A and B are shown apart, each in its own frame.
Chain A
């Protein structure tokens, strides 16, 4: 479904990605962990071309997409993204946040988009908040709207960039539940997170990244309990405590 080959990215003198390879099958959930500054967020943004990689190839369904003749907008329509800081459109209600993409990008008519939007808000448990503005929602609710907004584009895959790390502890559960339900429904997902519970139950594979490289790859059991690399062991030791 998604394949990344030898991906490199520099920001000025900073070498953020030093040749990353990964592959995700259809319906698979891949979790990426790693210390901050290891390039996880940049990697996600290179996959949906929010950041243009310097070199390397990104494939979506077998087609290389980081090419001059492919519009990045076309790629982003098919790969949904959920951000750490939610980034809901502040001047739009929850429902309008969800319907904007279908109406303005896909050209869906307003009534159909609204019906679909309400269904999606119901799916994330927020049917009654359709007319609330982002500032009137809790962090957990905002993040669930953000997931619904991404789903409204009918994406082939979803990228999650630390979706729960900006949340108060009491709201983390509700967001993870929505993500777990998505995973059960067969959504292809790449999730950057440090939620060990979610990673263990939802993901078959975990990647550990450090300093722009993938250091180790394995099942949750292997990564969390029998890591082979010293760096992985130190990092996992810190987050498991």
Chain B
């Protein structure tokens, strides 16, 4: 274990490293800008004048992404939980019920209603799980671009009288939500399955219900494990929201940049702004999440400092 002062020294080194890296990057960017602006005539006045409009477009990207992300998180959690549960074969469930019923009736014939009820509940559970599996397979097995185009086509064909902006927003949010829901369910499933089964057993042993064990024991541990992949998913989704450019009627960042480029012919300026703003959003997001991760880190849980060997 490194000592506290050692840790401090290391973190100072890290800060210096990061600053250095940022300086070098900025230097390169400044050089590129210099080449573009002075030798190719990149218009700084255009950038200064129109960057507020780009920021406005970026807000739309952020709204759509964030709404889809959080609704998708609800879907992902439910699907992930459903897919993480181990189900027994129906034959064994039925055999257990039969033995139980025979024992309860003390030799008398058990009622058929009990068995029908068991089959009913069992089939619902079974098909919920299979449906979840199929959903995830479809979402992960097809391009997001196709999903967006499909939802959008469906919306404009079935609701042609809606405002085009609303049509675009609606199909964008639906497609992105469905997509991220599928991916997040895989993240949650992995997180839930990684929590040791002894934790659930201990939780049930003090009298917590299934949901109580999930809420107070499994989720808090699983969430700590899945924060990094969930962050990746958010950043990925934000970048994926640029695919909404195909819809055309939603003035999100990429769409706006494209139309500006074609209308004003300030192509390099437009895309410098678009790229810069994406970076401006994604970089702090990962930093903020890193901070959250440190803040809620618990000794012995999740990613640990390596003790001896590194891979």
On chain B, the residues within 8 Å of A104 by CB distance are: 208, 212, 216
Q: Closest CB of chain B to A110's CB: distance in Å?
A: 14
**B220 with A91: CB separation less than 8 A:** yes
Contact A73 B208, CB 8 Å, known A133-B300, A136-B300? yes
Of A90, A133, A149, chain B has the most CB atoms within 10 Å of the CB of A90
A42 at the binding interface (Cβ < 8 Å): no
Contact A89 B199, CB 8 Å, known A104-B216, A105-B206, A105-B208? yes
**A87 with B202: CB separation less than 8 A:** yes
On chain B, the residues within 8 Å of A80 by CB distance are: 205-206
**B300 with A135: CB separation less than 8 A:** yes
Contact A50 B204, CB 8 Å, known A91-B298, A133-B298? yes
**Whole-angstrom distance between the alpha carbons of A54 and B102 in the complex?**
11
Q: Closest CB of chain B to A21's CB: distance in Å?
A: 15
Q: Closest CB of chain A to B176's CB: distance in Å?
A: 31
Identify whether the interface residues of B are mostly helix, strand, loop, or mixed. helix
A12 at the binding interface (Cβ < 8 Å): yes
**B103 with A90: CB separation less than 8 A:** no
A100 at the binding interface (Cβ < 8 Å): yes
B160 at the binding interface (Cβ < 8 Å): no
Q: Which residue of A lies closest to B212 (CB)?
A: A104
Partner of A55, one of B100, B206, B212, B220: B100
**A101 with B206: CB separation less than 8 A:** yes
Counted as pairs of residues, one from A and one from B, with CB atoms less than 8 Å apart, the total is: 86
Q: Which residue of A lies closest to B102 (CB)?
A: A55
**Whole-angstrom distance between the alpha carbons of A101 and B301 in the complex?**
21
A171 at the binding interface (Cβ < 8 Å): no
**B300 with A90: CB separation less than 8 A:** yes
B203 at the binding interface (Cβ < 8 Å): yes
**Whole-angstrom distance between the alpha carbons of A54 and B201 in the complex?**
19
**B201 with A135: CB separation less than 8 A:** no
Q: Which residue of A lies closest to B101 (CB)?
A: A68
**Whole-angstrom distance between the alpha carbons of A68 and B118 in the complex?**
13
Of B96, B103, B209, B224, chain A has the most CB atoms within 10 Å of the CB of B103
Contact A91 B224, CB 8 Å, known A54-B99, A85-B198? yes
A52 at the binding interface (Cβ < 8 Å): yes
Q: Closest CB of chain B to A165's CB: distance in Å?
A: 15
**A105 with B212: CB separation less than 8 A:** yes
Q: Which residue of B lies closest to A73 (CB)?
A: B207
**B199 with A153: CB separation less than 8 A:** no
Q: Closest CB of chain B to A76's CB: distance in Å?
A: 5
Q: Which of B213-231 contact A (CB under 8 A)?
A: 216-217, 220-221, 224
Contact A50 B300, CB 8 Å, known A55-B99, A90-B199, A90-B221? no
A150 at the binding interface (Cβ < 8 Å): yes
**A134 with B300: CB separation less than 8 A:** yes
B299 at the binding interface (Cβ < 8 Å): yes
Q: Which of A38-86 contact B (CB under 8 A)?
A: 48, 50, 52, 54-56, 67-68, 73-74, 76-77, 80-81, 83, 85
**B100 with A76: CB separation less than 8 A:** no
Contact with A along B189-207 (1 / 0, CB 8 A): 0000000101101111111
Q: Closest CB of chain B to A27's CB: distance in Å?
A: 22
On chain B, the residues within 8 Å of A55 by CB distance are: 99-100, 102-103
On chain B, the residues within 8 Å of A90 by CB distance are: 196, 199, 221, 298, 300-301
Q: Closest CB of chain A to B113's CB: distance in Å?
A: 13
A88 at the binding interface (Cβ < 8 Å): yes
Q: Closest CB of chain A to B55's CB: distance in Å?
A: 39
Q: Closest CB of chain A to B117's CB: distance in Å?
A: 11
**A76 with B206: CB separation less than 8 A:** yes
Question: Can you report 12 A-B residue pairs in the complex whose CB atoms are below 8 A from each other?
Answer: A50-B201, A54-B99, A77-B206, A77-B207, A81-B205, A87-B199, A88-B202, A91-B301, A104-B208, A133-B299, A134-B300, A135-B298
Kindly list the 10 A-B residue pairs having the minimum CB-CB distance in the complex, ordered from nearest: A135-B300, A77-B207, A87-B202, A101-B206, A87-B198, A81-B205, A105-B207, A76-B207, A55-B103, A133-B299
> Residues of A at under 8 Å CB distance from B?
12, 48, 50, 52, 54-56, 67-68, 73-74, 76-77, 80-81, 83, 85, 87-91, 100-101, 104-105, 133-136, 146, 149-150, 153
